[in-house]
Amino acid sequence: MDKESLKSLLYSSALVADAAPDAVAEANTFCEGYKKFLDNGKTEREVCIYSEKLLKAAGYRPFTSGMQLQAGDKVYFINRKKCVLAATIGKKSLAEGFHLNIAHIDSPRLDLRPIPLYESNDMAFLRTHYYGGIRKYQWPTIPLSLHGVIYRADGSCVEVNIGEKDEDPVFCITDLLPHLGAKQSEKKLNEAITGENLNVLIASSPVADQELEQRVKLNVLQMLNEVYGITEKDFINAEIEVVPAFKARDIGLDRAMIGSYGHDDRVDAYPALMAEIDVKDPVYTTVCVLTDKEETGSDGVTGLNSMYTFHFLQQLCAAEGVDYITAFQASKCLSADVTAAYDPNYADAFELSNSTYAGRGIAVYKYTGSRGKSSTNDAPAEMVSYLTRLMDRNNIVWQIGELGKIDLGGGGTVAKYVANQDIDTIDIGVPVLAMHSPYEIVSKVDVYMAYRTFKAFCEDAE
Ligand code: MN
Ligand code: MN
């Protein structure tokens, strides 16, 4: 063999900048829309509202059970204000299967407890209970905002969003000064800040009447009552999420990356949604699902371990008079979730040749899970082969890997819940630096390659 033939025997992943230089400018344009999506959707409820606007503007109609559908029709359904389902009806019968793109729109955060408000030494705080896998020490001393809904005594709903507009106040969790922190500094990283420490400072001025007790707490309740018409009891009927008040910003002199709260997993959700919106007259029926509750294990009525997605698919089958088991068996799913980008700062956590890297395109994962591939959809080689050929045909820059060193930990995704329904499924996702932190970082070209992958899958006729 000559030198070139020998070289062609080797495989390694490449930078998008080298393998597809034209994609860099396209990625920058695509990511302007993504940054808006991030800033407008910091919670699953807000993502639903923003996505519904995009879907309606693109001509999607609300889906109702039994409605007659034709090839090219676009319909959507919002599950309990927390999950988005959108579909474009294909030219082939549903008996030939769906092409499903799935991502999640809940992110690690702090939720308010049922009885959150208390006063201590003339300061009022909100008690929180963390949601998903956070590193608790990362949450003090950053600006925070409050997002969510409160149901009043009469059943009416008030939406809360404080801390995002420039003129809004923000909130904060305090930390100890280093001068008094010697003992705290001796603790392990995961014990230095506890769940009970994650109390959000919300006010520090009292009501005027000095005869009263808890005057700062009463001041908070008075302000909330004036603006929202609520009392302390109404916190019981509320879902308020505490999230970082940062906006999505370009990172680096070259502006090649984006720093933001909530890339996990909006960085896959937005490309999946845009691919669904952009596909016209597909051969197979395409379905985009943006789900809730991934970060707590996918249980609950808005998690993928519930039937809501499969009920939607079953109802689409019923509208066409197709047996849904036949449809599921013929279907394919790209289950998207973020993965760890190799971090040279923490090189010890990774195995170089099976890591995924920021800037090398969309990452494919044959399996996730932990230890001996516990609790994973381990995609069959046939499915891996289908996907890699699809990506190569469409000049998509991709890489394959694992989360990190085998014995360090691991993690799961929603892929198994789809595969458990007899649907061929494979994991893909955008690599993230500082994943699950209040300020995660992704590479713009990877976001764009995620979009290109979802789009190619929506348009595939194989
Ligand atoms: Mn996550
Ligand atoms: Mn995730």
Q: 63: domain range?
A: 3-107+261-459
Q: The whole model's pTM is what?
A: 0.98
Q: How far apart are CA 426 and CA 184, in angstroms?
A: 44
Mean pLDDT of 431-443: 98
User: Are residues 139 and 227 part of one domain?
Assistant: yes
In a domain, 249, yes or no: no
Q: Identify whether 450 is part of a domain.
A: yes
Residues 134 and 212 reside in one and the same domain: yes
User: Which residues 6+ apart lie within 8 Å of 408 measured at CB?
Assistant: 349
The whole-angstrom distance between residue 255's C-alpha and the CA centroid of its chain comes to 22
Q: How far is the CA of 248 from the centre of ligand 2 (A)?
A: 18
Indicate whether 52 and 62 sit together in one domain: yes
pLDDT at 409: 83
Domain presence at residue 221: yes
Ligand nearest to the backbone CA of 267: 2
Identify whether residues 100 and 136 lie together within a single domain: no
Return the pLDDT at 132.
97
Residue whose C-alpha is closest to residue 260's, from 348, 338, 364, 149: 338
**What's the confidence (pLDDT) of residue 462?**
84
Specify if 253 maps to a domain.
no
Which range has the worst mean pLDDT, 60-74, 302-316, 323-337, 364-378? 364-378
| Residues 98, 134 within the same domain | no
Percentage above 70 pLDDT, the chain: 100
pLDDT value for 309: 98
Judge whether 438 and 68 are in contact, CB under 8 Å.
Answer: no
**How many angstroms separate the CA atoms of 231 and 229, rounded?**
7
Q: In this structure, are 119 and 87 located in the same domain?
A: no
Do 330 and 429 share a structural domain? yes
Q: Which of 215, 244, 273 is the C-terminal boundary of a domain? A: 244
pLDDT of residue 166: 96
* 132 alpha carbon – ligand 2 mean position (Å): 10
Query: How far is the centre of ligand 1, averaged over its atoms, from the C-alpha of 107 (Å)?
Result: 7
Residue 277 phi, psi dihedral angles, 5° rounding: -65, -40
Check residue 230 and give its pLDDT: 97
Domain membership of residue 115 (yes or no) is yes
Give the number of whichever ligand sits closest to the CA of residue 103. 2
Mean pLDDT of 35-55: 98
CATH number at residue 171: 2.30.250.10
417 and 349 within one domain: yes
- C-alpha 264 to ligand 1 mean position (Å): 5
**Distance from the CA of 104 to the center of ligand 2, in angstroms?**
7
Ligand 1 centre and the CA of 451: distance in Å?
19
What's the pLDDT band for 410 if we cut at 50, 70, 90? confident
Expressed in angstroms and rounded, the spacing between residue 43 Cα and the centre of ligand 2 is 14
Amino acid at 456: A
Mean pLDDT across the chain: 97
CATH at 348: 3.40.630.10
- Nearest ligand by distance to the CA of 291: 2
Please give the Cα distance from 149 to 159 (Å, whole number): 5
The ligand that comes nearest to the alpha carbon of residue 414 is 2
> 76 CA distance to ligand 2 centroid (A)?
23
Q: Looking at the domain assignment, is residue 251 inside a domain?
A: no
Phi-psi region of 380 (alpha: psi -120 to 50; beta: other; left: phi over 0): beta
Residues 338, 275 within the same domain: yes
Domain C-terminal end among 219, 244, 269: 244
Cα 237 to middle of ligand 2, angstroms: 27
Q: Are strands 199-203 and 123-131 parallel, antiparallel or unpaired?
A: antiparallel
Ligand 1 midpoint to CA 290 (Å): 14
Which ligand has an atom closest to residue 429 CA?
2
Same domain, 48 and 58: yes
Does 98 share its domain with 148? no
Q: How far is the CA of 435 from the centre of ligand 1 (A)?
A: 7
Nearest to 429 by CA among 350, 326, 340: 340
> What is the number of the ligand closest to the CA of 290?
2
* Number of domain units in the chain: 2
Residue 424 predicted with pLDDT over 90: yes
State the distance from the centre of ligand 1 to the C-alpha of 247, rounded, in angstroms: 19
What's the pLDDT tens digit per position in 146-199? 999 999 999 999 999 999 999 999 999 999 999 999 999 999 999 999 999 999
120 alpha carbon to ligand 1 midpoint, in Å? Answer: 34
Name the band, by pLDDT with cuts 50, 70 and 90, for residue 400. very high
Which ligand has the shortest distance to the CA of 336? Answer: 2
Task: Map 435-451 to HEC letters.
Answer: CCCCCEEEEHHHHHHHH
- Ligand 2 centroid, distance to 436 Cα (angstroms): 8
pLDDT digits (tens, 9 = 90+) for 110-138: 999 999 999 999 999 999 999 999 999 99
Task: Please name which ligand lies nearest the alpha carbon of 132.
Answer: 1
| Cα 262 to Cα 254: distance, rounded to the nearest angstrom | 22
Q: How many CA atoms lie within 13 A of 120 on its CB side?
A: 9
276 and 233: one domain?
no
What's the 262 CA to ligand 1 centre distance in angstroms?
A: 9
- Distance between CA 298 and CA 199 in Å, rounded? 26
Residue 382 lies in a domain: yes
What span, in angstroms and rounded, lies between the C-alpha atoms of 290 and 201? 33
Q: How far is the CA of 10 from the centre of ligand 2 (A)?
A: 32
Instruction: Categorize the per-residue pLDDT at 279 as very low, low, confident or very high, splitting at 50, 70 and 90.
Output: very high
| Among 217, 244, 271, residue at a domain's last position | 244
Whole-number pLDDT of residue 87? 98
**Ligand 2 mean position, distance from CA 186 (Å):** 32
The Å distance, Cα 302 to ligand 1 centre, comes to 16
Q: Nearest ligand, CA of residue 105? A: 2
Q: CA–CA separation, 427 vs 338, rounded Å?
A: 9
Looking at the domain assignment, is residue 271 inside a domain? yes
